[in-house]
Structure 1
Amino acid sequence: MAIPTFGLFDHIEGIPGTPTHRLLRDRLELVRTADQAGFASVHFAEHHGTDLSLAPNQDLVVAAASQVTTDIRMGPMVKLLPMHHPVSLIEDMCVVDQLTEGRLEYGVGRGAVPAEHAWHGSSHRDARERFVDTLGIIADALRTGEISSEHSRYHDFPTMPMSTRPFQDHIPFWYPGNPETAGRYGMSLMWPGPIDPASYETYVTSWEAHRGERIRLDGPDSKPQVACSMLLAVAEREEDAVAVARRGADGLARRTVSAHRFDHVVITDDERDAVMAPLQAILAGLEMSIGLGAGTPAQITERFTGFLASGMVDRVVLMLPTGDMTLAEARRSLDLFVSEVQPQLELASVA
């Protein structure tokens, strides 16, 4: 199997009893630990009006983390494009890429919570179209050096120069959960757990079928890349790991459901089932993650070796901390993974 890389994904959820300033400082220390362990990336979520995310502007977190790390790449997963003006998105993106000296990796998405769209003066009903519209403005700007609304249906502003350009010649972009969309626009794919062959084939086929189109975020040397996100809990005893993972999954599920508590203001009863359908898939994915990502170091090594052998996964992104998992538990899982699991996976990849 290919040599895997590893990353972190963090909602920056609230931890009961931990003041927000302490929580943010602790998260930066966790990122520093991952950087020292040679992790490839760390990504941060965007949510609003809920303790599912206490740092909804990921650019601020990435800017702070860039000052205490040297190698790890970082960025949003995801920036909710329909909720932001493209000029601000592009300018902030370029500044953060400069601050990180070219370590930015940029995840984008539409946003699944109707209330969040309403709070930003947008609507979830046209989020898909707004997403593509804004993505097109971003792609054009990175290609031409000018921010223009020429092809936009939703924005109308005079063309302006990008006074701050990116540090990188090509910023890597990510898209979660939809292989056709990720491939169409030349983005890496973030998948919930090990990807199945049919979804992988859809991704690669879409990538190749739309190569060279106007809205593409791939560079000249880019190729399809898949990362799988995994809830992780490692302990010396399996039952202890499963208990930590269960509290993590239950806490994340509770907060994810709670993020929809204001949706009734902007959706009808008939729309509710459609809005909540993606949530059910997320909750099902968490159950699968417990089965794969909770165990002793030896169990985690065996399970990860199994799905990495397919060759379809380039990076494993560990969800730490998650839900009601404590920071100490997250640190313990990370320490055990780095010291006992990661070396064995790297050895297996060259055997």
Structure 2
Amino acid sequence: MSQQVITDIEAIRKYIEVADKKLINQMLNGLDIAKDLPVLRDVREPRHLKKMVVDAGARRLNTSIKKAKGGRTFSERILTPQGAMKIIEIIPEEVRESFMSSQLDPNAKEIPFGQWVWQQEFAKIASEINDNFFYSVNPETIPAFSATATYAEGALVYFNDIVYEMIDDVDTTAGQSPETHQAKWADVDNKVICDGPDKIIEEELTAGNLLISGSGGSFDKDSAYDAVMDLWDPIPEAHKNKRLVLLTSYDVQSDIAISQNKQFGTGVGVGSVDIEQGKPFVVKGTGGRLTVVPNTWMLGSRRLMATMAGNAVIGMNQTGDASKVGKVIENLHGYEAIVKWMIGFQFRDLEVLYVNDQR
């Protein structure tokens, strides 16, 4: 039995030595965010997203006029990627007690077993990135825990190199740390990687660089269609004619579909007549210019984001030394390895971004 343990652990170790970049690329490319949004490749440092606005200048023919009318204005937004990592520890005893006894096919070869183990690790990383992307925040903005401060629900702090969120609806008193009052705090390290869409939108709204479109307010499956039209109506015709996409969560897409079916369909889900939930569809009353697109990475958000396709972008480093599994290091009970990657998000142009006031 002990010899078999050594063989299988060696298979796990050897596989990652030859397949680390392939697995990392599969993990990053397999993310829903990378399928739904454009990806800027090989982003390891701030990427400048340029914009040029050309002034109006068309006029009647007049050969006596020699000077150009108007010019152009340049601006930019910056996508700043952040480094992320996961330290993975493999302990032979754990493998012997779990994988070998119940999950590993007795006839499995060494390399397939090693591949299977690492695929599960990378699938978990992909899940953590995707499920925390929308509400993610830049770790550089998180303060250290202060023993003299009090914290309200939602507060983020660094404590013993881990980011915690205060989750109790009753404020802490001085000294109530993640160590002394564990029930009040949750480990949210995987939610603090880079500024995600929610954080950027809220910051731009606060700064006045982005405005709520329409009157806003909460909505449900009965009023969702009206909420979409409330957001749509104030958008300038020039932007509507770009054929916008409305990025939503799956729950919101479902509400809009049910609401639109009640107004324009049977309202009871007749196939080939009513809109299907979980799929993109064109919103009635927009001249075919607004398409609802549901996204897993928006989780349960009630945010509506109408914009041009390609305006929301992700930056990743999917090749090179920064995107590989680090050196495998033996320890007392097994070995450790580290996976590193970089990821960032940004809207190219706020001018063609229209949002409601729900989060």
**TM-score normalised according to structure 1 size:** 0.24
What's the TM-score once normalised by structure 2's chain length?
0.23
Work out which of the two has the higher radius of gyration on C-alpha atoms and give 1 or 2.
2
- Report the structure, 1 or 2, having the larger strand content: 2
